[in-house]
Amino acid sequence: MPLNRYLTLGRSGLRVSPFCLGTMTFGEDWGWGSSVEDSCRILDAYTDRGGNFIDTANIYTKGHSEQIIGDHIGRHPAKRDRLVIATKFLGNLYRGDPNGGGAGRKSMVAACEQSLRRLQTDSIDLYWMHFWDHLTPIEETLRAMDDLVRAGKVRYIGFSDTPAWKCAQAQTLAHFRGFTPLIALQIEYSLVQRTVENELIPMARELGMGVTPWSPLKYGVLSGKYTRANRETVDPGRGDGIRNHLTDRNLSIVEKCAEIAGQVGATTAQVALAWVQGRPGVTSTIIGARTPQQLEDNLGALDITLSPEHAVALDEASAITPTFPQSFLPGTRTVVHGGTTIDGESREPWDLSPASDNERW
């Protein structure tokens, strides 16, 4: 699947590439990341391959990520109009200012204006709430986002890193009150992080939100460069932040990816990315790169096909224990089916149900 094999995002008509270019590493203002020159080369390499979906945030590299995108793309209408530019609000760039961040109207509108200025564009194609602000009523956030859409400053909206119950509440309120609905959900999702399958993924699929996973390689754990032999000597720039994820379970997953990579002629990272992109509910996986070479390697995941047997092997290697009520509900199907077959699913009769009409009260 090439980058220009576009997909509609959630319950909308917005067409996006199967891999979204994440730009959190654009700019060296955090002490690491890509130079301006490398960032521009990565942007060009991505768009030259037909990629059209770019993700950033107001706080990434202190706002420099947005500025790089604006300087290289936003100021050129012919480039900008062909791309779907997504950014996020909520992060506070102003120490000492309680309204410098959050999901309230004052903060959101100010953040939007600042992002538009840095991106050098008249509108943001997809505006994300970066994560849940428990201090702000969701009604205020939704109404303010809807006002930005009606003003033409935002085209579509989505939530990132927010509990499933809050997303469901927001989507229901949006439909009930005629606000702009959410079309996408951005969450961490990978072979290492599958807990989102308990609530968030089913919620998104039911309520029309296309899923865009972030950290599909779990900070590089699934890249293949970490093994049991070198896990104590990881990149000092990552330190304990990545060392804590180099568990026996996770390294077993890496080893299974490497095994399958050898069978399909791919890299370990490409297998991990292909697995995520093939999951139910996923529309566009967010990939990051510090160099054009890393980008090319990641994009190679679109060229490989995992067999059903490979997918099952990866599922089994990374399996998680369901939480309640998912852990309970499968066992109730015998109570519901009455010993019949429904939608191709057969169940034996429940042992405690009446065996005949004469046994019913």
* 239 and 344 assigned to the same domain: no
Q: 38, 292 in Cβ contact below 8 A? A: yes
* 337 and 313 assigned to the same domain: no
Mean pLDDT of the residues in the chain: 95
- Nearest Cα to Cα of residue 287 among 198, 199, 213, 194: 213
What is the model's pLDDT at position 237? 58
What is the model's pLDDT at position 229? 86
Q: 276, 213 in Cβ contact below 8 A? A: yes
* 46 and 194 assigned to the same domain: yes
- Please report whether residue 2 resides in a domain: no
Determine how β-strand 210-214 pairs with β-strand 182-188.
parallel
* 271 and 356 assigned to the same domain: no
DSSP letter for each residue of 33-61:
SB-HHHHHHHHHHHHHTT--EEE--TTGG
* 127 and 234 assigned to the same domain: yes
* 252 and 342 assigned to the same domain: no
* 36 and 62 assigned to the same domain: yes
- Please report whether residue 356 resides in a domain: yes
* 316 and 356 assigned to the same domain: no
- Nearest Cα to Cα of residue 302 among 319, 278, 327, 332: 278
What is the model's pLDDT at position 230? 86
pLDDT digits (tens, 9 = 90+) for 35-54: 999 999 999 999 999 999 99
Q: 158, 182 in Cβ contact below 8 A? A: yes
CA 64 to chain centroid:
22
Residue 335 CB neighbour total at 10 angstroms: 12
pLDDT digits (tens, 9 = 90+) for 299-322: 999 999 999 999 999 999 999 999
> How many whole angstroms separate alpha carbon 225 and alpha carbon 240?
16
Q: 289, 298 in Cβ contact below 8 A? A: yes
- Please report whether residue 1 resides in a domain: no
* 337 and 281 assigned to the same domain: no
* 214 and 356 assigned to the same domain: no
- Please report whether residue 149 resides in a domain: yes
- Please report whether residue 18 resides in a domain: yes
CA angle at 157 for the pair 151 and 158, rounded to the nearest 5°: 160
Total tally of structural domains belonging to the chain:
2
Range(s) of the domain holding residue 208: 7-327
Which residues of the chain fall below pLDDT 50? Answer: none
* 258 and 115 assigned to the same domain: yes
Which of the residues are catalytic? Answer: 60
Could you identify the residue written with the tokens 């009446």?
Answer: 354
284 half-sphere exposure, CB direction, 13 A CA radius: 33
Q: 257, 186 in Cβ contact below 8 A? A: no
What is the model's pLDDT at position 236? 55
Indicate if the alpha-carbon torsion angle 64, 68, 73, 75 is positive or negative. Answer: positive
CATH number, domain with residue 212 = 3.20.20.100
Query: Which backbone phi and psi does 16 adopt, to 5 degrees?
Result: -135, 160
* 359 and 321 assigned to the same domain: no
Query: Which backbone phi and psi does 156 adopt, to 5 degrees?
Result: -135, 160
- Please report whether residue 261 resides in a domain: yes
